[in-house]
């Protein structure tokens, strides 16, 4: 493992101006910011990208969920696809400038995403989380199986706190994705620094 990454995903609960300001303060400590705003129009998502750019967030760090059209015209770094999105191979072929990630929940989905040309996958939810009430967590054992089943990076999502970062990386994840744990923290900057430190410690331990 040469590096572990921190992805931050918007929750859909914050005003866009507030969200842009928070991300503007934390972007040096993260590898990617996912715009996951299911209730927003294409125009609103595009405007959020402009707001982020105005707050000095590099376009290369921005990933837009599902909306390939907005990702392409706003010249961001990539797009995150779900089961209802355009297929990965179509996006890779038609929009080669975009990095493509897939949200997956099983070994089969991970392997299919890799076959289709995905650059990485996000697997979850690993631990119980309020954003997925009533759904069983996948757990660390399943994360380990998925991570070892593909050559592309697997990032873990769901209930990840600084206290369990180490076991997530130990299970084979190449990084983590965090939503409310950072963006809705009392102090997002302190929160992102704590996650960063835990990732560094986990990486250093595996590198020994």
Mean of pLDDT over the chain: 95
DSSP code of residue 137? P
Q: Distance between CA 75 and CA 100 in Å, rounded? A: 13
Exposure of 163 in the CB half-sphere (CA atoms within 13 A): 2
Kindly report, residue by residue over 165-174, the tens digit of the pLDDT.
Answer: 999 999 999 9
* Higher pLDDT among residues 1 and 34, named by residue: 34
125 is catalytic: yes
Q: Which H or E run contains 197?
A: helix 188-207
Q: What total number of domains does the chain contain?
A: 1
User: Domain residues for 92?
Assistant: 5-207
Kindly report, residue by residue over 56-90, the tens digit of the pLDDT.
Answer: 999 999 999 999 999 999 999 999 999 999 999 99
Is the bond into 94 cis (omega within 30 degrees of 0)? no
Q: Distance between CA 56 and CA 205 in Å, rounded? A: 33
Sequence-ordered list of residues with C-beta below 8 angstroms from that of 12, at least 6 positions apart, any chain: 36, 37, 38, 39, 40
Residue 197's domain is classified under what CATH number?
Answer: 3.20.20.70
Longest CA span, the chain: 48
Considering only CA atoms, which of 9, 17, 24 is closest in space to residue 65? Answer: 9
- Report pTM: 0.96
Catalytic residue among 34, 84, 105, 125: 125
Both structure tokens of 37: 């705003």
Kindly report, residue by residue over 84-130, the tens digit of the pLDDT.
Answer: 999 999 999 999 999 999 999 999 999 999 999 999 999 999 999 87
Asked whether the beta carbons of 4 and 203 are under 8 A apart, the reply is yes
């Amino acid at each position: 493992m040469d590096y572990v990454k921190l992805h931050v995903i918007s929750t859909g609960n914050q005003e866009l101006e507030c969200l842009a300001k928070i991300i503007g303060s934390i972007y040096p400590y993260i590898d990617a910011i996912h715009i996951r705003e299911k209730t927003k129009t294409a125009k609103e998502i595009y405007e959020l990208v402009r707001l982020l750019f105005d707050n000095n967030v590099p376009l290369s760090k921005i990933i837009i969920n599902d909306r390939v059209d907005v990702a392409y015209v706003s010249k961001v770094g990539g797009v995150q696809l779900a089961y209802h999105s355009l297929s990965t191979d179509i996006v890779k072929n038609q929009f080669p400038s975009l990095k493509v990630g897939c949200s997956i929940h099983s070994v089969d989905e991970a392997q299919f995403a890799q076959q289709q040309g995905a650059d990485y996958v996000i697997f979850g939810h690993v631990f119980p989380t309020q954003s997925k009430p009533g759904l069983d967590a996948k757990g660390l054992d399943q994360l380990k199986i998925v991570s070892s089943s593909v050559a592309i990076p697997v990032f873990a999502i769901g209930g990840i706190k600084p206290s369990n970062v180490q076991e997530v990386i130990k299970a084979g994840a190449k990084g983590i994705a965090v939503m409310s744990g950072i963006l809705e923290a009392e102090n997002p900057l302190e929160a992102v620094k704590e996650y960063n430190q835990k990732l560094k410690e986990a990486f250093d331990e595996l590198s020994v």
